[in-house]
Structure 1
Amino acid sequence: MLLFFTVGLLVHFVFFASIFDIYFTSPLVHGMTPQFTALPPPARRLVLFVADGLRADALYEFDENGNPRAPFIRNIIMHEGSWGISHTRVPTESRPGHVALIAGFYEDVSAVAKGWKENPVEFDSLFNESKYTWSWGSPDILSMFAKGATGDHFFAYSYDANDEDFGAQDVTKLDTWVFDKIKEFFHAARKNQSLFSKLNEEKIVFFLHLLGIDTNGHAHRPSSREYKDNIKLVDEGIKEIVSLLKEFYGNDEKTAFVLTSDHGMTDWGSHGAGHPSETFTPFVTWGAGIKYPQKVSAQQFDDTLLKESKLRYWKRQDINQGILPVDYLNNTDVFKAESMYTNAVQILEQFKVKMTQKKEVTLPFLFTPFKLLSDSEQLNILRKARSYIKQRKYDEAVSLCKDLIHLALKGLSYYHTYDRFFLGISVVLGFVGWASYASLLIIKSHSSLTRGVSKEVKKPSHLLMCSFVAIGVLIAFFLLIQGCPWTYYVYCLLPVPIWYAVLREYQVIQDLVTSLLTLPLSHFVGYLVFCTLGIEVLVLSFFYRYMLTAGLIVFAGWPFITQLWTRAKSISLSWIFFCLLLAVFPLMPVVGRKPDIFLVMGAGLMVLLLSLFVVTSLIKRKSGFVNGELLLHLLQMLSIVLSMCVVYSTHNSLLRKQGLPLINQIVSWIILASSFVLPLLSPTVLPERLVSILLSSMSSYLLLSTGYEALFPLVLSCVMFVWIHMEQETLQQCGVARKQKVSNIQFTYNTDISQFRQLSLDDTRRAFFLVFFLLTAFFGTGNIASINSFDLASVYCFLTIFSPFMMGALMMWKILIPFVLVMCAFEAVQLTTQLSSKSLFLMVLVISDIMALHFFFLVKDYGSWLDIGTSISHYVIVMSMTIVLVFLNGLAQLLTTKKLKLCGKPKSHLI
């Protein structure tokens, strides 16, 4: 069985990794011929202001006194330049946003695995193509463009990363530092002849990365005074820099200015997903080559921003990165047409390189070119566009170039996804084969369904083995002659041994079919309907969280369906009450909620009351419950009290802008570390160990909570406790005698309990319950949006300085705590029901694989980027659950069965 789980882990890792080769590969190509416009540019230099985390509505709005939030920028919009909305794409994070702004493409999402700090592939950028670029700001942003720059022409000046403290008293210093440094820079340039000469060259870029607004938004939310005051500070700083540059260059009117943002921010101070508050960023530009304000009587945009900003009569022009926004340019028509023509040829060059690369590694009779942009069609469009320019039909030329860009981008996508269907078929074959083999293994080893049908055991024929070897050789040869990557061999060859393992169990398949034919048709159809509906509910819960509520309401009726109501009324009432209470959580908002520290305190008090009740009941029931065990419970209760104090103290300290107290930080990390050890000191008797795990988990969960979610693990654990008793009552109702009371069962019970009984159809329900509760543990207080846009306030008890990996690790542990509670309860269920955990675990894996296959078919490569990202996330989450389930099972066994000894004292088991 160990070999099976090891192989299964590797197989699922391959299935998980396949999604990155199919959907997360980099779209970049190299080797294109550089394209230039022969006409001289209107500007000699560009000043790029990127106000990190700045929402469009926040910049354009008026303050409470009726004055513009950013008066200088509003004056620019009304008298000097053009404005609009820049639409970003998910994930709305700093690194992808800056890459889109400065490099002109949407970055490979796999950069998230590097914390948005490293380049998955090398790329060209505006900075690299400049004569000189000077930049000031965050080290995380500046460093990624410094690594991609060639030659000695990119200069970056950044502050210390530790200055990015969300709990600092005044984070506007991140922006004032930039403004002060650029002032010092130009002051020094007047005395430095070499620097002065460089600054007067053409193709100069100044990049100012302003992080204060983003940091204030995370710490205090965009509706806060700190966030809004930071916008005013940036507005004043930009005004000073513009005045400084005009003075330095003597008003030569050769400077172009751009103010924009990499992403916006939600009302609750986060970003990462696709809400308009995150994807709508401001875009204001003025100076050399930029159109002056244009008055209009009406505009096509139907949103509240025009009304609230009072800019409805100034023409708004929205843009997307990647295509030249010619409507912003104030230049001759021939310059616009030539620039758009260059932009079209540049993108067409990428299409040609991508097509050539794919054609070289594909057999001629299998290659299917992109029909909408054949070689003749390319030449025809380019000749026609050039003819329009010669005939001075500039509008027609611009329109035709835009059509060519659209076709080239579509063709790029076509060749980028050329192997997707082929790889998808291979993965699906592997999925179906693995689920089939796992099902056959369950039936063969843990079920009596095939027993007695056929006594003869036959070995697989050599012909079967030779046939699959021949198939594998043919597939490998086919991939070899096409020069496919090594990962393609893994995806395409993996189904071969899997299906061989399935077909070599043909005797089990034959016996299974014979047994199913003997079952009543109604039973078979009913079981099939139950499985189908159950899995569909699980799948729908990813899209509609209220499906979990509906499922829990159905669960609440379980005692009436199985007549448990007449046998165990008190347990049934508890089951109904806690199921309905848990059903409330999926209906609660997951993002956008305001922090409520009193709910966290209330959750802590309820845990303390539960602890007192448990300690009192154990003292009454067991005269030996003294000394070490009582001391351990009191220590865990003290840990809960300390967590409550730290949360309350940290919350107040941050409100007063005094930062995170060092003592609070130390205590938080100590509590987190001790939560892994304290349960191992408790007795391995089932109720005592589960209560100990709950108390330790809650102590760290409280530190990571900001509101009602602090109550969730407590309610979930109550449901788990009752589930354990319900399953034992169900087993007794089916005629299986109870070996021990729940209160006396030990997790160290090493007897192979699979000898008592084989799997039954009722065990399918138990496996379904486990998967359902695991999804409830995940979606009970969150969903995809809350994972992509988690509240940074959740980790403020541990750290306030920005650290993606550390913050991500803490959030992952917060997510895993409910999973651990469910898995520990599952260990208790398999003990109380006298069933091997291996058989139930195999059934759970089969259910998870069927769900994963379902989501594999639901992955989208069309529609909005949020829809595409969400569909991929669904598959990744299910596959992660399948893989992580193996580790969670091991972690649950460690937490439930192991006991540490202190000072050499022997273990004492209370039975």
Structure 2
Amino acid sequence: MAGEGILSGGEQRKQQVWRRERWLVALGIVLHAVYLLSIFDIYFKTPIVHGMDPVPQRFPAPAKRLVLLVADGLRADKFFEPESDGRFRAPFLRSVMLEKGRWGVSHARPPTESRPGHVAIIAGFYEDPSAVTKGWKANPVEFDSVFNRSIHTFAFGSPDIIPIFCRGLPHSTWGSYPHEFEDFATDASFLDQWSFDQFYSLLNRSYDDNKLRELLLQDNVVIFLHLLGCDTNGHAHRPYSSIYLNNVKVVDQIAENVYNLVENYFKDNRTAYIFTADHGMSDKGSHGDGHPTNTDTPLVAWGAGIKGPKRLSYNYQRDYNFRFVDDHKHDMPTPSEWGLTSIERVDVNQADIAPLMATLVGLPCPVNSVGNLPLQYLQLNKGEGVEAALANTKEILNQFLRKSQLKQLSSLRFKPFMPLINYSSVLGQIEDFISAHDYDAAMKSSENLRRLSLAGIHYFQTYDWLMLMSTVTLGYVGWMINLVLHILQSYTFLSRNLSVKKNQAPSRGSMMKKIYLTGGLLMGFISVILIIEKSPILYHAYASMTVFLWTRIFSNIQLLKVIWWLLSNRSLKSNLNLLATSALAFFILELLVSSFFERKLYTWCFLFVGVVAAAFMVTFAPHRFLTAAYVLVACWFLSLFTLMPAEIPDNTNLVIASGAFIIIVALSSMWFDATSEGNNFKQLITQSDRNKLKFPVLFYAQVLLVGLSSVMVVLSTTHRAEKRELLVVHQLANWLIAGLSMILPFFSKPALLTRLTSIFLGFAPPFLLLSIGYEAVFYSALALVLMGWILVECTIMCMTKGKEFPFIANLEDKLISRHEESTLNLSHIRVPLAFMVLFNVAFFGTGNFASIASFEISSVYRFITIFSPFLMAALLIFKLFIPFMLVICVFSALTKLLQVPRLGCYFLVILFSDVMTIHFFFLVRNTGSWMEIGNSISHFGIMSAQVVFILLLFALTNIYTKDIEVRSFSSLSRKKM
């Protein structure tokens, strides 16, 4: 009966822990999702405000109509530079730059994706970085644009862009091709020709359709052709390929055809032309981040209202101090090979194009535009130039005034933007200057007022910076303290001491009620203040989450007292051991933070770890010299990959050779398994059934699938390269091989090494089919190091269980017994720390996955070539997750081998991740280069999301590892006796 009572008590405690953990996991997911959004409220609020009147233009429109040509994915250098024979790829547009119009570089802002880029060009403002998630959706937020202000807009192009701006716009005529046309296995330049053909057909129809002709002949008409070919060909073939470079010629030819067609149709010389791109393209065929290859795009303007080229004298002092919208300098001189150093170059921020287009056709500037009107492009007299600049200034000032008004109405203690307190007198002074024809003074005052207005807009966008930063930081700290308390309470012997102390605290229930009542009142008080200030709903979430977390901490006051009592009664040596371990853990985490900026740190890390691990094994287990040598070679082999370029070059032969290497690694693992008889060290991780087949049928089937995947890599790549299309039979075969291979590990033997080998073989075919170069070799290199991790842990286990080595004994925490199964002690911290290192190596071993542009879209072409963003993104993410899954499978197996609680180790992983998250939270910035801004956001986002996708991967890999069988050291010892 006593035994039953103890057992039922233990089961009851397990259920309590399990309930706490489910609640804690759910809380962690919500917390990280909510706090991730805080970055956009702190730094990057979308500048959309409503309730502002447009500012009309007070001088005649220079042009009657506008033609906007956007070459999606065209990077500046590939447009301006000559070919190897000295001829230029865009002869027509080059002649425009030399003879008719103006040119420059338009600098896009991350995320350098199609939707945000087109919003900046057409609406004049930058969506917040979260806009990348809206990608290809129709615009969910109404905002003003040049198209909205036009009398009528004619638009043709991609189904991913045209509907965003024209669907629901009554004064528009538009058309787009089906999604099926966007085939990455073909030359996509025909998409550009399709857009031109639709426009050509429209003009032809107008001769028979009087209503259509009347629409075309109106003033304030905008014609928009979206040319997607360069983007699609850049993704499929890279921007240095002949197909991409030929597409530049196609775009140039279309620009010439449009110009001739429009001039012959209207015959009034009242058309303005703008040619630009929404973003560029990296060398690896991707975009999204702030690298200059993605942000630098061409801009060419000519026609009615546009100045002609300005020739520069030999002694002309070029000013390369163009400033971006965030006021950081750009000082890249014009490359001499462009052949344009004698023609003035006028750079713009991408949002500056919207006020330029609006001014050309006499439209009010979009009311949310933050673009500065580039007057160097406009053919205006001094008075008109000042009027244009003043209209641009008033539009931006109106945004500032509206934001100030809204904030003043909702703030209990409003702090105005002091530099613009007397804005009305400045406006009056500018009007006086204009009346007195003192245009220089009027221009200077107008530009200064516009600059201050932009600064004021930024001031109100970051108005709540200090409050939000403090709230979120306290929230993260509170969450981590809750994690530590849960780990100590649930996975160590601290719970026994706690139960003793609970019996000594009869008034605990009353104290808990007071704490929760205080927390509830504080939460209610803060909510009332936020409601009065009309704060966004997320502000309530940030504050409530933080108050709730700290209320939970103070509700555990008894646990905190127990911890303090135990620490006070520990020996100095034990406390120093605790401090040293914490310092080492913190050092490793800071090293991981630094690795986000410099991948090569992992090279030095694994060179060092290989030497240390090998020296450790040789010193304390000299009879395992070969094992030590294996660990050293595996670590050094993996260290090579972070020296390789992040832009993975295509190398099909290397992918095929990797298939053979994977098979060799698997054969070696099975041989190791087959020779484990009589060796306690080996038998810890090998099969318990000695009457087994040395190489079972399942193993041969998996090896066959790896071989077939290598063959399909050859067939799919060769066929697509020769015929520029992928046969359906190839796609079906690839999907079948990948799907079947991931099912087979379920039927493998449950012994640790056998199951892990089967998992390694099971995920190899899909990884090979998604690989284009050296990352296929990285898969095997990572597996070798993971095997080395297992061998090192087995060595430590044999040493600690078989004989008490002093060095190992000193690593154990005396506070917590190491003889108790399913409990954590201080030395077990090495397991989640090693997991963190290997998990991050899976991130950076084959590139910089902290950058949006690092995802190789060409990786998916053996499964799908028709543009399908969500399926393609799913395949890319799955490829990224495969190495993670290997790491987590080994981690789960090791927790069983070491007999430590897996969820306890998982919570330690989350704790370590959040230490890094807080560091990245303070590294987020909204100033500096676009690359610095984009990387700071992505680093924080990755670490915030890690708690969620690690949990998902744990759940997924648990399907493969839950039935793994491991032998205890004691059972092996008894068997040997």
TM-score normalised by length of structure 1: 0.92
For 1:282, the equivalent position in structure 2 comes to: 298
- 1:882 CA displacement: 1.3
1: CA distance between counterparts of 2:918 and 2:383?
A: 54
**Amino acid in the other structure paired with 2:603:** T
2: CA distance between counterparts of 1:510 and 1:570?
A: 50
Aligned residues of 2:741 and 2:762 also touching (Cα < 8 A): yes
- 1:672 CA displacement: 2.8
Superposed, 1:603-618 pairs within 5 Å as 603-615=658-670
1: CA distance between counterparts of 2:547 and 2:79?
A: 59
Q: Structure 1 pair 786/796, CA: closer, same or farther in 2 (3 Å)?
A: farther
Q: Paired residue for 1:368, among 407, 410, 415? A: 415
- 1:771 CA displacement: 1.1
Aligned residues of 1:87 and 1:281 also touching (Cα < 8 A): yes
Q: Structure 1 pair 769/294, CA: closer, same or farther in 2 (3 Å)?
A: same
Q: Paired residue for 2:174, among 134, 139, 156? A: 156
2: CA distance between counterparts of 1:450 and 1:215?
A: 60
Superimposed CA distance per residue, residues 320-347 of structure 1 (whole angstroms, 9 cap, x where no aligned partner): 1211111110111111111110111111
Superposed, 1:820-839 pairs within 5 Å as 820-839=885-904
**Amino acid in the other structure paired with 1:141:** I
For 1:671, the equivalent position in structure 2 comes to: 737
Local SS of the residue matching 2:167: helix
**Amino acid in the other structure paired with 2:27:** V
Instruction: Tell whether 2:127 aligns with 1:107.
Output: yes
- 1:454 CA displacement: 8.8
1: CA distance between counterparts of 2:903 and 2:176?
A: 55
Q: Which runs of 4+ in 1 moved over 6 A?
A: 619-623
2: CA distance between counterparts of 1:784 and 1:401?
A: 44
Superposed, 1:735-746 pairs within 5 Å as 735=801
For 2:655, the equivalent position in structure 1 comes to: 600
What is the percentage of aligned positions where both structures have the same residue? 36
Instruction: Tell whether 2:554 aligns with 1:535.
Output: no
Q: Structure 1 pair 573/476, CA: closer, same or farther in 2 (3 Å)?
A: same
Local SS of the residue matching 2:105: strand
Aligned residues of 2:596 and 2:850 also touching (Cα < 8 A): no
1: CA distance between counterparts of 2:586 and 2:560?
A: 21
**Amino acid in the other structure paired with 2:389:** M
For 1:57, the equivalent position in structure 2 comes to: 77
2: CA distance between counterparts of 1:871 and 1:634?
A: 47
Q: Structure 1 pair 524/680, CA: closer, same or farther in 2 (3 Å)?
A: closer
2: CA distance between counterparts of 1:614 and 1:842?
A: 31
Aligned residues of 1:351 and 1:412 also touching (Cα < 8 A): yes
For 2:909, the equivalent position in structure 1 comes to: 844
Q: Paired residue for 1:590, among 646, 652, 657? A: 646
For 2:486, the equivalent position in structure 1 comes to: 441
1: CA distance between counterparts of 2:131 and 2:164?
A: 11
Local SS of the residue matching 2:559: helix
Local SS of the residue matching 1:253: coil
- 1:42 CA displacement: 1.0
- 1:708 CA displacement: 0.4
For 1:904, the equivalent position in structure 2 comes to: none
User: Which has the larger displacement, 779-788 or 681-690?
Assistant: 779-788
1: CA distance between counterparts of 2:152 and 2:520?
A: 60
Aligned residues of 2:578 and 2:826 also touching (Cα < 8 A): no
**Amino acid in the other structure paired with 2:346:** Q
Superimposed CA distance per residue, residues 752-790 of structure 1 (whole angstroms, 9 cap, x where no aligned partner): x99526322211111211111111111111224654342
Superimposed CA distance per residue, residues 850-874 of structure 1 (whole angstroms, 9 cap, x where no aligned partner): 1112211222122223212211211
For 2:374, the equivalent position in structure 1 comes to: 325
2: CA distance between counterparts of 1:754 and 1:393?
A: 89
Superposed, 1:393-412 pairs within 5 Å as 393-412=438-457
For 1:741, the equivalent position in structure 2 comes to: none
User: Which has the larger displacement, 582-591 or 607-616?
Assistant: 607-616
What is the aligned length? 875
Aligned residues of 1:450 and 1:515 also touching (Cα < 8 A): no
Q: Paired residue for 1:313, among 330, 337, 342? A: 342
Aligned residues of 2:180 and 2:866 also touching (Cα < 8 A): yes
User: Which has the larger displacement, 388-397 or 848-857?
Assistant: 388-397
- 1:80 CA displacement: 0.9
Note the aligned Cα RMSD (angstroms). Answer: 2.3
2: CA distance between counterparts of 1:338 and 1:304?
A: 32
Q: Paired residue for 2:90, among 54, 66, 70? A: 70
Q: Structure 1 pair 485/10, CA: closer, same or farther in 2 (3 Å)?
A: farther
- 1:844 CA displacement: 1.5
Q: Paired residue for 1:546, among 588, 600, 603? A: 600
Aligned residues of 2:851 and 2:935 also touching (Cα < 8 A): no
For 1:474, the equivalent position in structure 2 comes to: 525
For 1:32, the equivalent position in structure 2 comes to: 52
2: CA distance between counterparts of 1:792 and 1:822?
A: 24
For 1:743, the equivalent position in structure 2 comes to: none
For 1:520, the equivalent position in structure 2 comes to: 572
TM-score normalised by length of structure 2: 0.86
Superposed, 1:239-638 pairs within 5 Å as 239-250=256-267, 252-297=268-313, 298=316, 299-301=318-320, 303=332, 305-320=334-349, 321=351, 322-363=371-412, 366-374=413-421, 376=422, 378-448=423-493, 455-457=500-502, 458=505, 459-460=508-509, 461=511, 462-517=513-568, 518-520=570-572, 522-556=576-610, 557-561=612-616, 563-566=619-622, 568-591=624-647, 593-615=648-670, 624-626=691-693, 630-638=696-704
Aligned residues of 2:655 and 2:771 also touching (Cα < 8 A): yes
2: CA distance between counterparts of 1:140 and 1:233?
A: 21
- 1:423 CA displacement: 2.3
For 1:909, the equivalent position in structure 2 comes to: none
Instruction: Tell whether 2:826 aligns with 1:722.
Output: no
**Amino acid in the other structure paired with 1:230:** N
Superimposed CA distance per residue, residues 159-190 of structure 1 (whole angstroms, 9 cap, x where no aligned partner): 1111111101x322111212222222212212
For 1:227, the equivalent position in structure 2 comes to: 244
For 1:47, the equivalent position in structure 2 comes to: 67
2: CA distance between counterparts of 1:41 and 1:632?
A: 76
Local SS of the residue matching 1:677: helix
Q: Structure 1 pair 560/617, CA: closer, same or farther in 2 (3 Å)?
A: closer
1: CA distance between counterparts of 2:283 and 2:594?
A: 28
For 2:152, the equivalent position in structure 1 comes to: 132
1: CA distance between counterparts of 2:848 and 2:439?
A: 49
For 1:746, the equivalent position in structure 2 comes to: none
**Amino acid in the other structure paired with 1:428:** T
User: Which has the larger displacement, 117-126 or 158-167?
Assistant: 117-126
User: Which has the larger displacement, 323-332 or 840-849?
Assistant: 840-849
2: CA distance between counterparts of 1:700 and 1:174?
A: 31
Local SS of the residue matching 1:282: strand
- 1:606 CA displacement: 0.8
**Amino acid in the other structure paired with 2:500:** K
Q: Paired residue for 1:710, among 753, 776, 782? A: 776
Aligned residues of 1:784 and 1:870 also touching (Cα < 8 A): no
Local SS of the residue matching 2:957: helix
- 1:617 CA displacement: 5.8
Superimposed CA distance per residue, residues 191-227 of structure 1 (whole angstroms, 9 cap, x where no aligned partner): 2221111111100111111111222222222222222
Structure 1 gaps of 5+ residues are 739-752, 900-911
Local SS of the residue matching 1:427: helix
**Amino acid in the other structure paired with 1:440:** L
2: CA distance between counterparts of 1:147 and 1:381?
A: 41
- 1:33 CA displacement: 1.0
Aligned residues of 1:137 and 1:178 also touching (Cα < 8 A): yes
- 1:687 CA displacement: 1.1
Aligned residues of 2:910 and 2:947 also touching (Cα < 8 A): yes
For 1:749, the equivalent position in structure 2 comes to: none
Superposed, 1:77-92 pairs within 5 Å as 77-92=97-112
1: CA distance between counterparts of 2:124 and 2:447?
A: 16
For 2:873, the equivalent position in structure 1 comes to: 808
- 1:432 CA displacement: 1.1
1: CA distance between counterparts of 2:420 and 2:864?
A: 53
Local SS of the residue matching 1:83: strand
2: CA distance between counterparts of 1:166 and 1:811?
A: 15
